[in-house]
Structure 1
Amino acid sequence: MPSSHYRELKKNAQSLRKHLLPAKFNPMGDYRERVFTGVVAFRVLCHAAIEEYFEVRAIEIAKSALSQCRTTGKVSLPAIALMGFSGREHGLPPHTIDPPEPSKKKAWPSEIEIKQRLNDCTCSFVQRISRDNHGVRERNILSMLIPIGIDPVDIDRLFLSEIDNFGMSRGDYAHKAPSIHTAKRPDPKDELSKIQKLLNLIDPVDKKLDSLLALTKAK
């Protein structure tokens, strides 16, 4: 069964389709100017919904992995991945169990406690996704999925290609005047088909994310 986040994503896409695209498509592409404006808005807002979906799911799994470690002492695959792909430097254990000087007392848990190191890595990940992620290009997707334990072997290359193209074209839409894009007369039927195809490709990713989340709930 799809996650509640995925169901909400599809619901949002359906709502945007209802409000921004024509109820019936014209096979000749003969539409009023406002329809093309709606197509541009549809793509940009669908991009925002998909971006939010991946951010929310990644953060959910990261926080759950940290919570599991804190409460049960178990370290799940997502927890291992968070530490392995944190970008933080993890040195060898210190030479003393207590801080050698008062100025190091506050930061000492990060030097000597594995749970604190996981906490630091998780906080950095959540902050990076919440504040610094701006898109769904391939690099954005990998930076969200791999650090929570998705095996690169399990990432469909067609999905990556499609979402990277989608992210690239959205960037083009969002950073140029709408009149430039509406002049190209983008086809609303084609735009809807692209979003539907992308949502179908996200479905198996959603199932993998659910499997990872389940690992962080095991007692």
Structure 2
Amino acid sequence: MSTLSPFEHLFQRCDELIKKYLDPIIKAEQDALNSSEPVQVPLPDFDSLAAFRLLSHAELEGYFEAKAKETLKILDQDFEAGKIETSKFASLIFLFILKKQIAKKWTATGLGDDASIKNAETTDFKDLAQQALGYGRQFIEGNNGVKENSIQVLSALMGYFSDELDPVLLKELNLYGKRRGDVAHDSWKRNTRTFESAEIERTRLLTILDLIKNFYESNLAPIYTPRKKRWFSFFKTQWFSKRSLYQWN
């Protein structure tokens, strides 16, 4: 069983795919250009370019799903322990309410609330958390791609609000998903213009890997102050005390 982290696996597999499918094409082109003899630059192996897109896309999709599953596992454990007043649960419940268009109006505001009201709303909130966990598991199971909607939902499962995400990365992934569709749903022979060059294909993927590393795998991702303002704004009328909201982690 692999002990690699999701990103380590992603990086390793993408490196293997580049070496197998793109590097031979790039080398053949460079050899022709550097030849002292008049040699025609060979056409790239379009089947290899198509295979590279499909397989690298699968690795990207697998990375985001693996990261989301890791967080859901933690949330399942937290739920069983009765610990749902956390940042990751906040983003998941917010996502669930938004996607399902659920209207909630809690009246408890914190210390001093009537016990019956607080108990009822505590139960309601826990039920909502449980439903949100089920929604998250179902989404991962049925996910198919790395376009914007998929990444927003999978990122929410990891604990990110949509407005915290890197817009450049979202755009690159959206385009990558579209280009994958060009070779996944029909023969590339009907659309050879979808390919540019092996060098561009390599640069495109390496750019995405760098953006993923800088956002999801480093401390540069916004994980503290901006969220706390949103948590307080959204959950301030539910059963947690105002003090506990500022202690969320």
| Fold shared per TM-score above 0.5 | yes
The amino acid across from 1:205 in the alignment is F
The alpha-carbon deviation at position 163 of structure 1 amounts to 1.2
Q: Residue 31 of structure 1 aligns with which residue?
A: 42
**Structure-1 residue corresponding to 2:176:** 166
Equivalent residues in 2 for 1:53-72 (5 A)? 53-71=63-81
Deviates more, 1:40-49 or 1:185-194: 185-194
| Alpha-carbon displacement from aligned partner over 1:107-144 (angstroms, at most 9, x marks no partner) | xx9x935434322211111111211x211111221122
Contact 1:6–1:206 (CA<8 Å) still a contact in 2? no
1:91 Cα deviation from its structure 2 partner = 5.3
Moved more, 83-92 or 12-21: 83-92
The alpha-carbon deviation at position 191 of structure 1 amounts to 0.7
Deviations for 1:35-64, whole angstroms, at most 9, x for unmatched residues? 221011101110111011111111221231
2:126 is aligned to 115
Paired residue for 2:226?
none
Kindly state the Cα deviation for residue 92 of structure 1 after the two structures are TM-superposed: 6.6
CA distance in 2 between counterparts of 1:152 and 1:42 reads: 29
Aligned to 2:112: none
d(CA) in 2 for partners of 1:143, 1:74: 19
**Aligned residues of 2:6 and 2:63 also touching (Cα < 8 A):** yes
Q: Mind listing any 5+ residue stretches in structure 1 that lack a counterpart?
A: 98-108, 213-217
Q: Matches of 1:173 and 1:146 in 2, distance apart?
A: 29
Whether the 8 Å contact between 1:21 and 1:188 is mirrored in structure 2 is: yes
Taking a change above 3 Å as real, the CA distance of residues 182 and 30 of structure 1, as seen in their structure-2 partners, is farther
Contact 1:70 1:115 in 2 (8 A): no
CA displacement 1:77-126 (0-9 Å, x = unmatched): 11122112114436579xxx9xxxxxxxxxxx9x9354343222111111
**Structure of larger gyration radius:** 2
Q: Quick one: distance in 2 between partners of 1:161 and 1:183?
A: 21
Q: What is the aligned counterpart of 1:73 among 83, 91, 96? A: 83
- Could you tell me which residue of structure 1 aligns to residue 187 of structure 2? 177
User: TM-score by structure 1 length?
Assistant: 0.75
Say how many residue pairs are matched.
196
Task: Return the alpha-carbon distance in structure 1 between the equivalents of residues 68 and 222 of structure 2.
Answer: 13
1:49 aligned to 59, 78, 98, which one?
A: 59
Say yes or no: does 1:207 pair with 2:217: yes
Against the structure 1 CA distance between its residues 8 and 171, is the aligned structure 2 distance closer, same or farther, given a 3 Å change threshold?
same
Unaligned runs of 5+ in 2: 34-39, 107-115, 224-247
Q: Which is bigger in relative contact order (C-alpha 8 A, separation at least 6)? A: 1
The reply to whether residue 128 of structure 1 matches residue 131 of structure 2 is: no
Once superposed, what is the RMSD of the aligned Cα atoms?
A: 3.3
Residues 17, 83 of structure 1: CA spacing in aligned structure 2 closer, same or farther, 3 A cutoff? same
Identity among equivalent positions (%) equals: 23
- 2:15 aligns to what? 14
